[in-house]
Amino acid sequence: MISKIKLGEKIKEINGRTWYPVEVARVNNQVVRLALMKGEYHWHEHKNEDELFYVVEGELIIQVENESDISLSEGEFTVIPKGKRHCPKSLDGAYVLMFEPFILESKEN
């Protein structure tokens, strides 16, 4: 059965925990996660994949190394190319959808 997803329920699941992504859906080899971003994350880069940030609620600033900051409001998104150092932050908090590759973690027996 094909189900619909209610982002409001996923926001309740986060329960105010910052930087705690919850899985919303899997699409092909991608996973869609929702997180409450508040304060500043750390500077990092993804060597093998682009990263998409879509602001559901609030405002998000993505600091990008050697470039101007990207300011996103509700309903806006951006794609950070692989290999580009960046640091997301939100002063008041923002619920953000992230689209990332789904990677199965291997377990050693």
Predicted pLDDT at 25: 96
Low-confidence ranges of the chain (pLDDT < 50): 106-107, 109
Residue 107 included in any domain = no
Residue 1 included in any domain = no
Number of domains in the chain: 1
Phi, psi of 43 (to 5 degrees): -70, 135
**CATH code: domain of residue 28:** 2.60.120.10
Q: At 69, which helix (H) or strand (E)?
A: none
DSSP-based three-state secondary structure for 11: helix
Residue 67 included in any domain = yes
Residue 106 included in any domain = no
Residue 63 included in any domain = yes
Neighbours of 40 (CB within 10 A): 13
Q: What is the pLDDT of residues 89-102, one digit of tens each?
A: 999 999 999 998 88
Predicted pLDDT at 106: 45
Q: Which domain holds residue 11?
A: 7-101
